[in-house]
Amino acid sequence: MKILHEGGNLSLASLAFEAAVQKDENFTDAWVALGQAQAQNEKEAPAIRALEQAIKLDPSNLEALMGLSVSYTNEGYDSLAYRTLERWVGAKYPQLGVAPRGLEDDATEEMGFTDRHLLHEKVTNLFLEAAQMNPEGGNVDVDVQVGLGVLFYGSEEYEKAIDCFNAALDSSEHGALKREGEEHLLWNRLGATLANSGRSEEAIEAYNRALDLRPNFVRARYNLGVSCINLGVLETAAGHLLNALSMHRLIEAEGRAKAAELLRDGQGNDVDDRVVEGLLQQNQSTNLYDTLRRVFSQMSRRDLAEMVGPDMDLDKLRGEFEF
């Protein structure tokens, strides 16, 4: 946890939490922390797997539910995001009388556009009702504001979502996406919403705020690159994406020995190198490579686009781009 909360190497943090859940697959907090680390590291699919596992172990884990709803939203799984937020508000505010559901119910549920719209409206109303309760003597429940922001984001009501995220940032309270010392998560969420509302320059300001707080925050660096693409500043965009990839590569240069140490068994025996390699490969993200390839193609640099992939030599590009 120290690696994650003090802004250390996120890839290394992920491996530490992987080691923890391999030693104890019922370690809920480690599954939650693993999901959080993967999400911050622009590795959404592994993040979802970890957070789903945490919720199987602890169906009312508020931190896991809120994080999973955001990850589902990022991946376009709107119905799952709404159902997860419904479970969150039901667990946090039992007086609302939300009927309990399980992940299995959501996975097998088929939902058309009308049903999805009705679900969104229902869950939004639950959050609005929760917002009016002011359970802490009038203090804003930051997670309710974040949940509302995610819901408005899902319905493309970006101005309302921006208001909610700003309200959460302005509050002195903390929550799942605004833990003390980890406000970078919410600045990134605000940036993504500003970007989707066509306000790329303001989005860049929000991403930079996130990076000021957490310089190795890969997701914010990636999002910053995407906003630069939207503004047509392709070389700068490539630099940010290469910077994000370079952060991922830190684990290759300095983390393998530590990873092997973290994965060592209880008797002090070394783990097979193939296990470490398997974890590294399992947690790779294709988003960065796909987006970087697209940038190089837009720059008419087919030579660079063809280089992009897990085995690319980043050092060969340092002379052309700042990262």
Model pLDDT for residues 75-117, shown as the tens digit of each residue: 999 999 999 999 999 999 999 988 877 666 665 566 677 888 9
The pLDDT tens digits for 4-50 are 555 556 667 777 788 788 888 999 999 999 999 888 877 889 999 99
What is the distance between the terminal CA atoms of the chain, rounded to a whole angstrom? 28
- The predicted pLDDT at position 93 comes to 94
Residues 12-42: b if buried by 16+ CB within 10 A, e if exposed = bbbbbbbbbbbeeeebbbbbbbbbbbbbbbb
- Check whether 170 has a pLDDT greater than 60: yes
Taking the CA of residue 144 as centre, how many other CA atoms within 13 Å lie in the half-sphere pointing to its CB?
22
Check pLDDT > 60 for residue 125: yes
Tokens representing 273 are 């190198």
Angle of the 10-23 helix axis to the 234-250 helix axis, nearest 10: 40
pLDDT surpasses 80 at 140: yes
The tens digit of pLDDT for each residue in 149-165 reads 999 999 999 999 999 99
Percent of residues, the chain, with pLDDT higher than 90: 57
Report whether pLDDT(291) > 70. Answer: yes
CB atoms within 10 A of CB 274: 8
pLDDT average, residue stretch 221-250: 92
Residue 290 has pLDDT above 70, yes or no: yes
d(CA 117, CA 127): 15
pLDDT at 294: 96
| pLDDT for the residue 107 | 56
Average pLDDT over residues 229-236: 95
- CB neighbours (10 Å) of residue 224? 28
Per-residue pLDDT at 281: 59
Mean pLDDT of 202-218: 93
The model's pTM: 0.81
pLDDT over 60 at 251, yes or no? no
Distance CA 208, CA 228 (A): 12
| Angle, CA of 54, 39 and 217, to the nearest 5° | 140
State residue 13's pLDDT score: 74
- What is the CB-side half-sphere exposure of residue 268 using CA atoms within 13 A? 0
Average pLDDT over residues 271-280: 60
Task: Give residue 99's pLDDT.
Answer: 81
Residue 302 above 60 pLDDT? yes
The contacts of residue 141 (CB under 8 Å, 6+ apart) are 92, 130, 131, 133, 134, 135, 173, 175
Q: Which of 68-77, 128-137, 141-150, 245-254 has the lowest mean pLDDT?
A: 245-254
Of 177-186, 280-289, 295-304, 312-321, the least confident:
280-289
Please state, rounded to an integer, the average pLDDT across all residues of the chain. Answer: 85
What is the reported pLDDT for 95? 92
* Residue 239: pLDDT over 90: yes
pLDDT at res. 191: 97
pLDDT at 272: 61
> Which domains does the chain possess?
181-323 (1.25.40.10)
